[in-house]
């Protein structure tokens, strides 16, 4: 008896259920791009190294090229096509647009999905390699430029738009914090534009040992 190499699955994407037959080899990325015409999610390397295919799976960022479609049933998937509120852009999208946080635009959907989850991870108190005090009771560290750089380093940009990506993420994080002033979220310290706008000639607080 020949083993079946495809299955009908149902994927929950951007709040909609899609039932489709998929080859068991099909990645979530290819299912989105080639079967569901959701081409906003990009394929830059197809091996988990560039972050262009970043989507949100159950609210957390994940590279969809390393996720099989058939293993994505029952998960809540959000792609770049699903982050805006109708015609109103998500604050991260708006900040990328306003601050030119991109050039060719190919890494952009992944950067934006990654940034959305990153801001939530930070607000929830997750530390990063750039966090000075990682004790749980220390709470969320200030969202400095260094924190953003570290946390966004899974998303490569070959055009070299990192400087404005960091500014866009900082601006969006501040906008979101202002909208949801929950006690656990703190964005104190030199976050975003204040930190970045210091004149050349002063040192970045980057490596004070």
As a whole number of angstroms, the distance between CA 5 and CA 82 comes to: 30
As a whole number of angstroms, the distance between CA 107 and CA 185 comes to: 28
Window contacting another protein (CB under 8 A); options: 107-115, 135-143, 174-182, 184-192: 107-115
Among 66, 68, 76, 106, indicate the residue that binds another protein (CB under 8 A).
106
Asked if 20 interacts with another protein (CB under 8 A), we say: no
Smallest gap from residue 187 Cβ to another protein (A): 19
Q: Hey, what's the torsion of the CAs at 132, 135, 136, 137, to 10 degrees? A: -100
Asked if 126 interacts with another protein (CB under 8 A), we say: no
Asked if 49 interacts with another protein (CB under 8 A), we say: yes
- Going by C-alpha positions, the residue among 53, 68, 196, 172 that lies closest to residue 123 is 172
Window contacting another protein (CB under 8 A); options: 73-81, 119-127, 135-143, 175-183: 73-81
CB 169 within 8 A of CB 114: no
Asked if 86 interacts with another protein (CB under 8 A), we say: no
Asked if 67 interacts with another protein (CB under 8 A), we say: no
Return all residues near 149 (Cβ < 8 A) that are at least 6 apart.
Answer: 130, 162, 166
For 4, the token pair is: 């079946």
Among 17, 19, 37, 86, indicate the residue that binds another protein (CB under 8 A).
37
Asked if 104 interacts with another protein (CB under 8 A), we say: yes
Asked if 162 interacts with another protein (CB under 8 A), we say: yes
Asked if 148 interacts with another protein (CB under 8 A), we say: yes
**Sign of dihedral through CA atoms 101, 102, 103, 105?**
negative
Asked if 34 interacts with another protein (CB under 8 A), we say: yes
């Amino acid at each position: 008896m020949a083993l079946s190499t495809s299955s009908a699955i149902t994927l929950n994407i951007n709040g909609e259920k899609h039932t489709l037959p998929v080859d068991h080899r099909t990645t979530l990325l290819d299912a989105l791009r080639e079967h569901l015409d959701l081409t906003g999610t990009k394929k830059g390397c197809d091996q988990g190294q560039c972050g262009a295919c970043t989507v949100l799976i159950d609210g957390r960022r994940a590279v969809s090229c390393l996720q099989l479609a058939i293993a994505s049933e029952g998960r809540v998937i959000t792609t770049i096509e699903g982050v805006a509120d109708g015609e109103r852009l998500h604050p991260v999208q708006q900040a990328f647009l306003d601050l030119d946080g991109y050039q060719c635009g190919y890494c952009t959907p992944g950067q934006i999905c990654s940034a959305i989850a990153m801001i939530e991870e930070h607000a929830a108190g997750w530390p990063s390699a750039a966090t000075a005090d990682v004790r749980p009771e220390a709470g969320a560290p200030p969202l400095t430029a260094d924190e953003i750089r570290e946390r966004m380093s899974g998303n490569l940009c070959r055009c070299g738009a990192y400087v404005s990506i960091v500014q866009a993420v900082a601006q969006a994080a501040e906008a979101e914090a202002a909208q949801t002033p929950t006690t656990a979220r703190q964005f104190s310290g030199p976050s975003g534009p204040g930190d970045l706008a210091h004149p050349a000639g002063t040192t970045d607080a980057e490596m004070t040992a």
